[in-house]
Structure 1
Amino acid sequence: MNIFARLFKIGKAEVHSVIDGFEDPINLTEQGIREMKEQLVKSTEALAQLKALSIRKKNEAETEQQTAKDYYNKAVIIIQKAENGEVDATEADRLAKEALKKQSSAQENSVHLEGEHAKLHAECEKMQGNINNLKSNISKWENELKTLKARVQVSEATRDINKKMTLMDTGSTVSMLEKLKERVIQQEALAEAYSDISNAGKTIDDEIDAVVNNSDMQAEDALKKLKETLKKD
């Protein structure tokens, strides 16, 4: 099957099924573009050679046409000289006939060469059309390749995500979160318990020091009362 015939089927199938199949669409497209570019180079070289041959035939036809005109003019000059008595009439007729024969031969060659030129020119036009079409296809497939690569990347990423989501144990994840939550609650309760134990173990001196250290105003009031008592005594 032609490589491009296979590529046309890519758009009709899911990207996953193509990737998982025997043919990689990206490699196929890249290979197709390489082959098309190689063909473009060969076609361009062939067109150049064909145009060169066409130009050559055209130039040869023009040369033969000019040769025919020259021989006709020579025949005219010979007849004119014979009429003026410059050349023997019999000899003039003989030479004029030979000139006209060459003129006729050159004219036939010119027509034949012009026909070959026309055919070659038509072939050049046809080949130029094929080359233009080939260039268009190359540009088209290069754009298709960019789109195809993007589709493959997106599809592969989506496939990986979906696969991970499928393999993920939702129940296990929820269970782990519940265990973590329970552990945090237990740690908070344990910290509160240690705080209560620490407060319960304080002596009376600790309580006094705590009041003194944390309430300067209360210490000042106690000091005033103590001084007033001492004065009464």
Structure 2
Amino acid sequence: MNIFKRIFKIGEAQANKAVDNLEDPITMTEQGIRDMKADLNKSVEAMAQVKALAIRSKNERDEHESKAKDYESKAMLILKKAHSGDMAVEEADRLAKEALAKKEEAQQHANRAAADTEKFDKNVSQLKDTIETIKGNITNWENELKTLKARVKVSDATKNVNKQMAELDSAGTVSMLERMKEKVAQDEALAEAYGDLAKTTKSVDDEIDAAADMTESKLDDDLAKLKEQLGIKKDEA
């Protein structure tokens, strides 16, 4: 049936994680379940009709078997009457043959009805199996539909988030933020380098100034010159 082909396609798509290739997995699954329920109703109706035929065939079989037995009983009764002298032998034989012919005809009808009954009973059994299979499929796919709906919600949410992230990245926002982060890191490193350099330069200058400081020596020279101008000898001072 077409419905089973569609349902199996959905199952195959799920197994291969290719639900996106379907037009609408939820709608298709719901339609598939509705189709299976329609098939179930048709199967139940068909089984009821076949059951009715089986019952009718059984009744016909019983009826014709009863007739066959009745004709056989009548043939025996006629022969007994001829044997007891209540009926002419020739007439009894003729009527007994007619009764046996009727018995054979009735038995043939009974045999055909019995064959039909067996066939209809087999059809009923097959329809029962089909109905149980359809019921099981409906239950399974109704449960699967719940899972499928949940999966679609998660898939849609994930897809939307990923799409937003992709759009952000494509717009350059993420790249820009990464560049700004790198720039800040570079500025921090540069500032630290300048700080280290400033400390190093200051220490060297201090050492150089300390080593080249002539202030005290110049003051001593100036003092000596002033004393010399005043005529003050070094020893007197």
Whichever residue aligns with residue 151 of structure 2, its letter is: R
Aligned to 2:112: 112
Aligned to 2:148: 148
Distance 2:9 2:102 in 1: 61
Whichever residue aligns with residue 12 of structure 2, its letter is: K
Q: 2:9 aligns with which of 3, 6, 9?
A: 6
Q: Would you say the 8 A contact 2:10–2:19 is kept in 1?
A: no
Offset, 1:40: 0.9
**What is the TM-score of this pair, normalised by structure 2?**
0.65
| Length, aligned pairs only | 171
Offset, 1:143: 0.9
Distance 1:90 1:107 in 2: 25
For residue 23 of structure 2, give the secondary structure of its aligned residue in structure 1: coil
Matches within 5 A, 1:1-233: 2-14=5-17, 18-19=19-20, 21-166=21-166, 167=168, 169=173, 171=177
Distance 2:27 2:80 in 1: 79
CA displacement 1:36-66 (0-9 Å, x = unmatched)? 1111111111111111111111110111000
Distance 2:15 2:125 in 1: 35
Whichever residue aligns with residue 99 of structure 1, its letter is: A
Of stretches 119-128 and 147-156 in structure 1, the one that deviates more from structure 2 is: 119-128
Of stretches 118-127 and 140-149 in structure 1, the one that deviates more from structure 2 is: 118-127
Distance 2:52 2:87 in 1: 45
Offset, 1:157: 2.1
Distance 1:154 1:58 in 2: 58
Distance 1:64 1:112 in 2: 10
Distance 2:95 2:12 in 1: 75
Distance 2:143 2:75 in 1: 67
Distance 1:125 1:12 in 2: 33
Offset, 1:164: 4.0
Whichever residue aligns with residue 111 of structure 1, its letter is: N
Distance 2:138 2:131 in 1: 10
Distance 1:112 1:22 in 2: 52
Q: Would you say the 8 A contact 1:79–1:96 is kept in 2?
A: yes
Detail structure 1 runs of 4+ shifted over 3 Å in the superposition. 161-166, 168-172
Whichever residue aligns with residue 27 of structure 1, its letter is: T
CA displacement 1:62-113 (0-9 Å, x = unmatched)? 1100000001111111111222222222222211111111111111111121
Q: Would you say the 8 A contact 1:10–1:25 is kept in 2?
A: no
